[in-house]
Amino acid sequence: MKIMPRNLAVFITVGAFLIAITCAEDPYRFFEWNVTYGDIYPLGVRQQGILINGKFPGPDIYSVTNDNLIINVFNSLDEPFLISWNGIQQRRNSFEDGVLGTTCPIPPGKNFTYILQVKDQIGSFYYFPSLAFHKAAGGFGGIRILSRPRIPVPFDEPADDFTVLIGDWYKSNHTALKAILDRGHKLRNPDGILINGRGPNVTSFTVQKGKTYRLRISNVGLQNSLNFRIQNHRMKLVEVEGTHTVQQMYSSLDIHCGQSYSVLITADQSDRDYYIVVSSRFTNPILATTGVLHYSNSASKVSGPIPGGPTIQVDWSLNQARSISKLAYSANLKVSLIYNLVRTNLTASGPRPNPQGSYHYGMINTTRTIIIQSSAAQVNKKQRYGLNSVSFKPTDTPLKLADYFNIGGVFRVGSISDKPTGGGLYLDTAVMGADYRTFVEIVFQNPEDIVMSYHLDGYQFFVVGMDGGVWSKGSRNVYNLRDGVARSTIQVYPKSWSAIYVPLDNVGMWNLRTEFWARQYLGQQFYLRVYTNSGSIRDEFPIPKNARLCGKASGQHTRPL
């Protein structure tokens, strides 16, 4: 049981309700969102979409580092609903994370006010509906966190700044897809690709010749890695999930599920329209869609061949001298080389004026190595997916609430092991324990033939290495301990591994999941319980006063006596 010293609990009145422990000096932004069903036709057929304030995709959230975001979400669907915030760290406050392990669902006809602070963050992220298979129906949107006015940004202010949400898409509505998964079957491949919720040739971005624009591209899709490119234009990568990168030019960029990238493009071609192309990577057949980059004085429509996708990346191989790792990637059909080049610009600032390289993650010794291996199997004659042989079984009581109120019988710390066990897949409510302020190495081992993508809530971690084959201690010799990028979603190539370093400086119950959404739904996730017994609000906020209570937590009180 956590004892909250009463005199430390500071409450500030905002609107009609009380908000625990926010920083009074940081600005507030208020949002009121009505979540409804509505007909959408992104691929030409009518579907049941999930709209936010009538929009699909939902509205963008604009914010500045340290802003408090007060988002009152009204659930006008006929089933429970939750929104989660991909890449927003919610420091000391996993109660607001909006996943089933931390937050009670918003019942139909009810509302819940999320109280977030984008503390010490900059960059490009997105929100999405985390329950059931809602993500296949919309309910997602962009989140951008701008630097505070006097913090230098390592590039000139762009003429405009566009959110570009790309993702694969099914023509079926989410209830039909969920029913297939509930029956224990796999889903067939998606039907197409959307750009900002629209199918081929619809989405258009208007630019003026000679000016430079920022595109914040997030893959909000369900399973496919996507390649993004613009006819006759190159892109300068400047930011990855909150880190300013070494700025490099790309003619095309792979964006794996759940990942976000910012690029700058300069409208330096003649006045006409150009294709924007998004196509699936490593799939057979390839799914593709197009949008339009429209010059404001354009004299002609898009023309010429649609630019082809990457085979062997010339841009990338040219830079191999500076690459952090070289991967042998064997797809079903062909072998290609991929160079993972994304690096941090150590002299650029992040949310604060000091250089991003001032935190020397490579000088800190890790205290623990966790190896996570995916697997897929039938359990009780139904398709399931797991990590280290455990397929996650959700509970009615959010794990965070069970922990906070000290309710037994909901989960067991240590119900997933630190290393692959080699055993068969089984169901459990997987929770891994970890001590606050330890520094851990996590290796994702992918024995399968598909690209995996993993996301950790509550954190930005350092990407230290990737390579083909099976990870071993010797693999540390290829680690980048200098300028690996800090981000929250990492890809793992087929029959390969990716390694990250995580400073566990955020107490809470944090979801680690695959971004392959059907697999996530069928158990490929667990919770990392980052724990301290200090009981201090310096380490973790108390439960929000407006928290919804459900399951075995129903009879509890949010303000401790």
Ligand X SMILES: *[C@@H]1O[C@H](CO)[C@@H](O)[C@H](O)[C@H]1NC(C)=O
Cβ contacts of 234 within 8 Å, gap of 6 or more? 249, 250, 251, 265
Cα(480)–Cα(464) distance, integer angstroms:
5
Q: Pick from 63, 68, 103, 113: which binds ligand X (CB under 6 A)?
A: 113
x-or-dash string of contact with ligand X, 230-269, rule CB under 6 A: ----------------xx----------------------
Asked if residue 287 binds ligand X (CB under 6 A), the reply is no
Q: Pick from 14, 176, 288, 537: which binds ligand X (CB under 6 A)?
A: 176
Cα(320)–Cα(327) distance, integer angstroms:
11
Least gap, CB of 524 to ligand X (angstroms): 26
β-bridge pairing 288-295 and 204-207: parallel
Q: What is the DSSP letter of 541?
A: P
Cα(127)–Cα(116) distance, integer angstroms:
12
Asked if residue 72 binds ligand X (CB under 6 A), the reply is yes
Distances (CA, A) of 365 to 139, 186, 439, 474: 41, 41, 7, 16
Least gap, CB of 155 to ligand X (angstroms): 8
Counting residues that bind ligand X (by CB under 6 A) gives 28
User: Dihedrals φ, ψ of 198, to 5°?
Assistant: -120, 150
Instruction: Compare residues 238 and 376 and give the one whose CB is closer to ligand X.
Output: 238
Least gap, CB of 154 to ligand X (angstroms): 3
Question: Among the candidate windows 95-103, 110-118, 383-391, 550-558, which touches ligand X by CB under 6 A?
Answer: 110-118
Classify residue 522 as left (phi > 0), alpha (psi -120 to 50) or beta.
alpha
Q: How is residue 435 written in tokens?
A: 């001590």
Least gap, CB of 236 to ligand X (angstroms): 9
Asked if residue 321 binds ligand X (CB under 6 A), the reply is no
Asked if residue 369 binds ligand X (CB under 6 A), the reply is no
Residue type, 313: Q
Q: Pick from 66, 366, 415, 546: which binds ligand X (CB under 6 A)?
A: 546
Residues 129-158 that bind ligand X (CB under 6 A): 152, 154
Least gap, CB of 48 to ligand X (angstroms): 3
Asked if residue 200 binds ligand X (CB under 6 A), the reply is yes
Report the Cα–Cα distance between both ends of the chain, in Å, rounded. 12
Cα(3)–Cα(10) distance, integer angstroms:
15
Asked if residue 359 binds ligand X (CB under 6 A), the reply is no
Q: How is residue 124 written in tokens?
A: 């490009």
Instruction: Compare residues 192 and 420 and give the one whose CB is closer to ligand X.
Output: 192
Instruction: Compare residues 39 and 396 and give the one whose CB is closer to ligand X.
Output: 39
Asked if residue 17 binds ligand X (CB under 6 A), the reply is yes
Least gap, CB of 248 to ligand X (angstroms): 8
Asked if residue 365 binds ligand X (CB under 6 A), the reply is yes
Question: Among the candidate windows 109-117, 161-169, 263-271, 377-385, which touches ligand X by CB under 6 A?
Answer: 109-117
Cα(499)–Cα(445) distance, integer angstroms:
9
Instruction: Compare residues 41 and 449 and give the one whose CB is closer to ligand X.
Output: 41
Cβ contacts of 512 within 8 Å, gap of 6 or more? 372, 387, 454, 455, 456, 457, 525, 526, 527, 528
Asked if residue 439 binds ligand X (CB under 6 A), the reply is no
Q: Pick from 2, 9, 36, 59: which binds ligand X (CB under 6 A)?
A: 36
User: Dihedrals φ, ψ of 478, to 5°?
Assistant: -100, 5
Cα(54)–Cα(300) distance, integer angstroms:
33
Binding site for ligand X (CB under 6 A): 16-17, 34, 36, 48, 72, 74, 76, 111-113, 152, 154, 173, 176, 200-201, 246-247, 290, 302, 345, 347-348, 363, 365, 546, 548
